[in-house]
Amino acid sequence: MTIEQSLREVGGAVSAAAKAADRQPEDVVLCAVSKMFEAPIIAEVLAAGHRVFGENRVQESAGKWPELRKTYPDVSLHLIGPLQTNKCEDAINLFDVIQTVDRPKLARSLAKAEEKLGVKRRYYVQINTGEEPQKAGATPAEADALITLCRDELGLTVDGLMCIPPVDDEAVLHFGLLAQIAARNGLSGLSMGMSGDFETAIACGATLVRVGSAIFGDRPKPAV
């Protein structure tokens, strides 16, 4: 199967899952996760008409996207990987949406960078629903305070919440918890679901699914 065929297939599965949940297909955004793939491969997906992409590294994205954007200025690029406070300006210059706001210090740096650069971006607050020590994100107990800080104190445009469930747990529990935290904070955006579980996530209310390998195939291993 070509990448374009995989893209169509995943798009169809997203629509079908939305309809099965009595939702509108256009209410679920498919974010194609292109991390580790080189520009010519990403260009195939762009040529097929897709415009929403996710990347997990600032530096890798800086090497690919400014050039791709020249041909496709209407791209919407999402950062879905961890962000260091000293990379906030780079991230704001490269990305339209930053999905990994996971701590107060980062939120403050982003607000400062927005002000300095004179631009606004859109954000998701990342929640560590499984409370895994090695994983980024505010714990469910810290979530409300971080959302309030971002939105009300710092004036960041918070679209919603994002989570990455533990690999060995029922994803549906984490999707449900994320939806609950969003609802009690009046947020409508839910970035949840990847190649293996995006249909479940859509049934739980996902408004954005982050799908990599189901579109692009297995990721190349990083060169050492």
Ligand X SMILES: *Cc1c(COP(=O)(O)O)cnc(C)c1O
Q: Where does this chain bind ligand X (CB under 6 A)?
A: 33, 35, 56, 80-81, 164, 194-196, 210-214
Please give the residue whose beta carbon sits closest to ligand X in the complex.
Answer: 212
Specify the residue, 74 or 218, whose C-beta has the smaller distance to ligand X: 218
Specify the residue, 157 or 213, whose C-beta has the smaller distance to ligand X: 213
Q: Are 42 and 64 in contact (CB under 8 A)?
A: yes
Phi then psi dihedrals of residue 77, to 5 deg: -105, 125
- Could you tell me the smallest distance in angstroms from the CB atom of residue 219 to ligand X? 7
User: Is the sign of the CA dihedral 136, 140, 146, 150 positive or negative?
Assistant: positive
Specify the residue, 64 or 210, whose C-beta has the smaller distance to ligand X: 210
- Could you tell me the smallest distance in angstroms from the CB atom of residue 72 to ligand X? 21
Buried b (16+ CB within 10 A) or exposed e, 140-174: bebbeebbebbbeebebebbbbbbbbeeeeebeeb
- Could you tell me the smallest distance in angstroms from the CB atom of residue 102 to ligand X? 12
Helix (H) or strand (E) holding 44: helix 39-47
Q: How far is CA 179 from the centre of its chain?
A: 15
Specify the residue, 109 or 126, whose C-beta has the smaller distance to ligand X: 126
- Could you tell me the smallest distance in angstroms from the CB atom of residue 208 to ligand X? 10
Tokens of 133: 């020590």
Specify the residue, 100 or 154, whose C-beta has the smaller distance to ligand X: 100
- Could you tell me the smallest distance in angstroms from the CB atom of residue 148 to ligand X? 24
Specify the residue, 154 or 163, whose C-beta has the smaller distance to ligand X: 163
Q: What is the largest CA-CA distance in the chain?
A: 49
- Could you tell me the smallest distance in angstroms from the CB atom of residue 22 to ligand X? 25
Strand partners, 210: 31
